[in-house]
Structure 1
Amino acid sequence: MSEQSLLRLSIAVTALLAAFGITVGLVSGSFAIVFDGFYSLTDAFMTILALLVSRLIVTSAEPTAKGKLIDRFSVGFWHLEPMVLGLNGTLLMGAAVYAFISAVGSLLSGGRPIDFGPAVIFTIVTVTVSFAMWLFCRRANRALNSSFVALDSQAWAMTAALTSALLVAFAVGHAIEGTEFEWLSPYIDPGALALICLIIAPVPFSNVRQAVADILLVTPVELKQHVDAVAEAIVERHGFLSYRAYVARVGRGRQIELFFIAPSDWPPRHLSEWDAIRDEIGEAIGGEGPDRWLTIVFTGDPEWAD
């Protein structure tokens, strides 16, 4: 299954679960379930956006890609990927913070009574579907190695875990009805929601941090070390004076620019010889494909490289 097909499936399942959750939440009076549905809708919307960006990236990388949009973005659409991932994580963290504040307010005002029967049914269905989707997306992404699918898989795992916590809370609430502990029932829904929000709020932070690093073109340490090692070997092997390397990661794209400083008294060479050296460098760096942007320049003037 392709990245886009997997994202489409995830969107459809998420939208169905979200609609189911909001309906059950309104019927049962559970704000925790309503929040779960709203959270899922937000995730579905961002997955649709991720799907559009993924399609743009794949389409623009095709050799036969043409059109006005391609002409306007001639260096590709990689920069949109970290923007979407960053926006996704920020929205999810913001929703969790807002829901936590609401839950605390409800606890301070005496809680919120709910109908635990429909709530338990909802959580059982959601846990089952979420766990199945997490396993499916995780297995499929072993071959795809997609940041979007990885984030989506993480979202399904988080949904399964948090809904499991809701299931336990609602089961306890249902069990204490008609007992001496029934006075605790109104506090179960906002208490569970507050606890869930505390857990999920920091989860997207790592994705937001990586997205910001990509947007700011922060140089990946491991990639820079690898490119430096390749460039140093080329300098020693072919007798260049020095080199300059500029490396950045933008979403799934790797942007690498290499400048090799040659002695000014070198005799002229045929273009095929320079291309052979370029091929040697490209093979040593590895990762050839639509997501690698590699520029190799040979010059006798260091100012062209600085």
Structure 2
Amino acid sequence: MTIGFHEQKEKSLLRLSFYTAGFFVLLAFGFAFVTHSDAILFDGVYSLIAFFMALITLKVANLVQMPDDDRFHFGYTAIEPTLNLFKSLIIIATCLYAVVGSVSALFSGGNAAQYNLAMIYGVFATVGCFAISFYMTHRSKSLRSDLVSVDAHTWFVDGVLSASILLGFVIAFSLESLGFAQFAPYVDPVLLIVLGLSMLPIPLKIMLESLNEVIHKAPPESVTKVIEKRLKQSLDAVPYEHVEVRISKSGRDIYLLVHIIVDKSFGKVTVAELDAIRKHSETTMREWNPSILMDILFICDPKLAD
């Protein structure tokens, strides 16, 4: 598969997310107006956020494919985790706003809704959101795209939200049918409180992962150990005392700054021979993981690797 194919596939999935989010915004707001349900309104606001985020994501997908230039010496990939960080913060703020509003509604007598119509929305939205999430996840397995991955997670969260809303509507409709109509108005705000709080772990996880990339924190030790092992295997023909590796992940790129502390048997070599070692190591590493970018320095003094 060529790089161009991957770019085209990524943008195709992001466009699908964008247009589908726009459709669900109209659908949710329409049903919220007819049924008077705050839960559906919240789902519509979430879809509206997803719609605008998908639009921005499409723009960012074009930027991160561009090479480095005079303004961005290390390319545009750092925009990717920055956007994902922003998206997670927006989702967190939306969840907290819904919880606060629902607590207020709960103490003011709840919120009555047209539960029969609301259940129709719940079924359609649940099936649609999960279908988009699973489709994007399946189609993006061969892509190195955090943008698509986060979008798939966003749709999964929306699917959980819609499924929970559907369950709440079924409960409220059952209460009305069984003669407990006085309790039905409390289902909507209670449901939103539960949803808002239960959804928080997913955007919080995305926020922390994206923040680590923005501040160039090293990946987890389980990841760095595998990278270091592969790197040393690619340098098996080089006599060295120690290899010091600094690793950072920014969007779809993993950057390695490698200091090779050579031993005395290394001897004198030409610049061309050093270049050949670099090329062999980088080619080997990129065959294993195409997202890796490397700079290799050969030194004698260990202090220069600090």
TM-score range, shorter chain: 0.7 to 0.9
Q: Paired residue for 1:28?
A: 35
Question: 1:212 maps to what in 2?
Answer: 211
Matched residues in 1 for 2:198 and 2:273: separation? 58
2 CA distance for matches of 1:10 and 1:226?
Answer: 34
Matched residue SS, 1:23: helix
Give runs of aligned pairs for residues 145-164 of structure 1, distance below 5 A: 145-164=144-163
The 2-side partners of 1:304 and 1:2 are apart by 43
Q: CA deviation at 1:26?
A: 2.3
Counterpart of 1:112, as a letter, is: N
Q: What is the deviation of 1:121?
A: 2.0
* 2:274 match: 274
Post-superposition CA distance 1:124-167 (Å, at most 9, x none): 22112112212211210122242222222222222222212211
* Match status 1:11 vs 2:18: yes
Give the counterpart of 1:56 among 40, 60, 63: 63
For structure 1, the residue ranges without an aligned partner over 5 or more in a row are 62-69
Q: Is the 8 A contact 1:17 1:40 kept in 2?
A: yes
Change in CA separation of 1:6 and 1:175 when aligned onto 2, cut-off 3 Å? same
- When residues 123 and 300 of structure 1 are mapped into structure 2, their CA distance, relative to the original with a 3 A threshold, is same
Distance in 2 between residues matched to 1:265 and 1:187, nearest whole Å? 78
Give the Cα–Cα distance (whole angstroms) in 2 for the partners of residues 123 and 225 of structure 1: 46
- Does structure 2 retain, via aligned residues, the 8 Å contact 1:124–1:167? yes
Shift of 1:206: 1.1
Supply the RMSD in Å over aligned alpha carbons.
2.5
Which structure 2 residues correspond to residues 239-250 of structure 1 after superposition, within 5 A?
Answer: 239-250=239-250
Task: Give the secondary structure class of the aligned counterpart of 2:111.
Answer: coil
8 Å CA contact retained: 2:144, 2:291: no
Q: Is structure 2 residue 124 aligned with structure 1 residue 117?
A: no
TM-fit CA distance, 1:37: 0.5
| Corresponding position of 1:64 | none
The residue type paired with residue 149 of structure 1 is V
8 Å contact kept, 1:235–1:243: no
Provide the rounded CA distance (Å) in 1 between the counterparts of 2:263 and 2:137: 51
Instruction: Give the fraction of aligned pairs with identical amino acids, expressed as a percent.
Output: 24
Q: Does 1:254 align with 2:217?
A: no
Structure 1 residues 52, 265: CA separation in 2 closer, same or farther (over 3 Å shift)? Answer: same
Residue 264 and residue 179 in structure 1: after superposition, are their counterparts in 2 closer, same or farther (change >3 A)? Answer: closer
CA distance in 1, matches of 2:162, 2:98: 15
Cα distance in 1, alignment partners of residues 42 and 231 from structure 2? 52
Q: Provide the rounded CA distance (Å) in 2 between the counterparts of 1:177 and 1:199.
A: 26
Deviation at 1:76, TM superposition (A): 0.8
Q: TM-score, normalised by structure 2?
A: 0.87
1:295 corresponding residue in structure 2: 295
Q: How many residues align?
A: 298
Alignment of 1:132 with 2:131, yes or no, is: yes
Distance 1:275 1:212 in 2: 35
Q: CA deviation at 1:214?
A: 1.0
CA distance in 1, matches of 2:123, 2:234: 60
Provide the rounded CA distance (Å) in 2 between the counterparts of 1:163 and 1:22. Answer: 14
Three-state SS of the structure 1 residue aligned to 2:294 is strand
Contact 1:245/1:259, CA 8 A, preserved across alignment: yes
Q: Is the 8 A contact 1:131 1:156 kept in 2?
A: yes
Structure 1 counterpart SS, 2:109:
coil
Letter in 1 for 2:46: Y
- Write the distance in 1 (CA, Å) between the matches of 2:149 and 2:231: 32
**Structure 2 stretches of 5 or more lacking a match?**
1-7
Structure 2: distance between partners of 1:107 and 1:154? 30
Q: Please give the alpha-carbon distance, in whole angstroms, between the structure 2 residues aligned to 1:192 and 1:295.
A: 52
CA distance in 1, matches of 2:236, 2:121: 66
Aligned partners of 1:234, 1:28: CA distance in 2, in Å?
63
The amino acid that maps onto 1:189 is D
Q: Secondary structure at the match of 1:219?
A: coil
Give the whole-Å Cα distance in 2 for the aligned partners of 1:265 and 1:128.
Answer: 65
After TM superposition, the score normalised by the length of structure 1 is: 0.87
The residue that corresponds to 2:84 in the other structure is 85
Aligned mates of 1:223, 1:305 — CA distance in 2: 21
